[in-house]
Amino acid sequence: MPQQGKQLYEGKAKILYATDDPTLVIQYFKDDATAFNAQKKGTILDKGVCNNRISAALFAYLESKGVRTHFVKQLDERSMLVKKLEIVPLEVTIRNITAGGMSRMLGIEEGIMLKPPVFEWHYKSDALSDPLINDDHIIAMGWATAKELSAIRAESFKVNDALKAFFNDRQLDLVDFKLEFGRFQGSLLLGDEISPDTMRLWEHGTRNKLDKDRFRRDLGSVEEAYKEVLRRVLGESQVCR
Ligand code: 5GP
């Protein structure tokens, strides 16, 4: 069992700790929440517990569907053991239904079904608010190779197919989500987290939002939304504290 070492990095929602195994790190989930590039800050009680458990369950599910991820195992209620990645400085977004950034950028209403889904690359930069970029920017800047981009794209669509089906079975629409990938011993692995912080989930029929948009837009019942997603992901008997 790897022992927790020094803090390597503190982000907006997570802290990474070294372990005595240089290939493994501990990802700790905080209750801190930010939105609009950290202009809005707050705390969502037990968000860290929910997101750790939701991410652990979704990584394990995706592994069972042939997606290679950094997830090793859940350690406790707020931490998971993950492989230490060399993060590719890109964020992938896949959109199945219009919302958020796409609605703003193109001046279109939320809730329009997108067929086929829309794939976006964003450059991972808080200072620049993660700008939308294309393959040419990435290759010209040397952030990833063309071969890596096609592998990430194919893997991201595999994630979309698997997660859409998973949430459909739980009466939730997967509106959109963000993924990050990293290099590990010559392969690309899915990293970061998959949680209501990083995806939009709408309840079937009512289109009630069960994700971080409740915090971003002051919709209320924020904690309840995270707990409801956890309940649906794990099954009826398992709830957050
Ligand atoms: P949008 O571009 O519409 O703001 O985000 C699309 C999807 O990706 C949403 O589900 C959103 O939660 C997620 N996403 C995009 N960028 C970020 C980010 O920097 N941090 C987090 N936590 N999620 C993001």
Domain spans of the chain, in order of start: 4-83, 86-221
Phi and psi for 146 in degrees, rounded to 5?
Answer: -60, -40
Closest residue to atom 22 of ligand 1, CA basis: 198
Using most ligand atoms within 8 A of CB, pick from 174, 178, 210 the residue to mutate for ligand 1.
178
pTM to 2 decimal places? 0.96
For residue 81, what are its two tokens? 């053991």
Q: Which atom of ligand 1 is nearest to the CA of 13?
A: 22
Where does 86-221 sit in CATH, by number? 3.30.470.20
- Residue 107 makes CB contacts below 8 A (sequence gap 6+) with none
Q: Give the domain 4-83 fold.
A: Phosphorylase Kinase; domain 1 (3.30.200)
Q: State the distance from the centre of ligand 1 to the C-alpha of 2, rounded, in angstroms.
A: 32
pLDDT in tens, the chain (241 residues): 789 999 999 999 999 999 999 999 999 999 999 999 889 999 999 999 999 999 999 999 999 999 999 999 999 999 999 999 999 999 999 999 999 999 999 999 999 999 999 999 999 999 999 999 999 999 999 999 999 999 999 999 999 999 999 999 999 999 999 999 999 999 999 999 999 999 999 999 999 999 999 999 999 999 999 999 999 999 965 555 4
Cβ of 93 less than 6 Å from ligand 1: yes
